[in-house]
Amino acid sequence: MEKYLDQAIQLGTVYGLKVIGALAIFIFGRWAAGITRALLRRLLTRQKIDRTIITFTCNLVYTGILAFVVIAALSKLGVQTASFVAVIGAAGLAIGLALQGSLSNFAAGVLMIIFRPFRAGDYIEGGGVAGVVDEINIFTTIMKTPDNKKIIIPNATMMGANIINYTANPTRRVDFTFGVGYQDDLSQVKQVLSELADGDSRILKDPAPVVAVSELADSSVNLVMRVWVKTEDYWDVYFAMTEAVKLRFDAEGISIPYPQQDVHIHQHQE
């Protein structure tokens, strides 16, 4: 009886210390994982990163640290963890191959958060569509078209092509092309366009508006007018100036030619 009692005490002493050590590793590791997740969440929140990205990233880091802690605790108990690591690696490889497209979308989303080619509220053209960025999620970017259609684009598609951000800069240039007849006075036309540009308070003085002849076309003399405006005033100025030029040309007697075709009919007498 005493023999078995001594063996039990010896086993308890040896394995008891291992169990205590494993518990200590697990408790400390879990605490460290929680602290790391909290610090990471606070850091990402200060960077004003999308909330969905923050939650996913923090949970991913927490799970990874916790898995490492569990393996360390099992190793402390004397469990051979090499097989666990091999199984986890094989499972990770299988999941990675199965979710290759999703992982590429996730990586593209992370790159968009880091490099910020656009932000929520920007009007962009990317992935073959154009619209206002509504949300940047883990795997997709949600956009809204000017006619209020909702478009969901995979992040990999968005990052795999050119992106045009129309609202990235505070100012934009509005380009107009107006055609007048060859018989019209070019000096008068240029003066009218300059007066219209100077009369609109939304058009910036610096850079100064440009009015110049651009082309001697088949049926018209084409002039360009280039003005700079604040980005938010782009379309208002574009529509208003187009209407103002038409009304002013009519008042000044300046013609706006359009393609015409003369048809001559010859009668054949037998």
What is the per-residue pLDDT across 71-125, written as a single tens digit (0 to 9) for each?
777 777 766 656 655 666 665 655 555 445 667 887 888 788 778 888 888 999 9
What is the per-residue pLDDT across 129-182, written as a single tens digit (0 to 9) for each?
999 998 887 788 899 999 999 999 998 899 888 999 999 999 999 999 999 999
pTM: 0.64
Over 60: is that where the pLDDT of 36 sits?
yes
- Residue span(s) of the chain under CATH 1.10.287.1260 come to 2-98
CATH number of 171-252: 3.30.70.100
Q: Are strands 129-136 and 123-126 parallel, antiparallel or unpaired?
A: antiparallel
- Residue span(s) of the chain under CATH 3.30.70.100 come to 171-252
Question: Long-range contacts: 74-81, Cβ < 8 Å, 24+?
Answer: 74/22, 76/18, 76/21, 76/22, 76/25, 77/15, 77/18, 77/19, 77/22, 78/18
Fold of 2-98: Helix Hairpins (1.10.287)
What does the pLDDT average to over 188-192?
Answer: 96
- Residue span(s) of the chain under CATH 2.30.30.60 come to 118-165
Fold of 118-165: SH3 type barrels. (2.30.30)
Q: Which of 204, 142, 147, 149 is nearest to 172 (CA)?
A: 204
- Which amino acid, one-letter code, is at 59? N
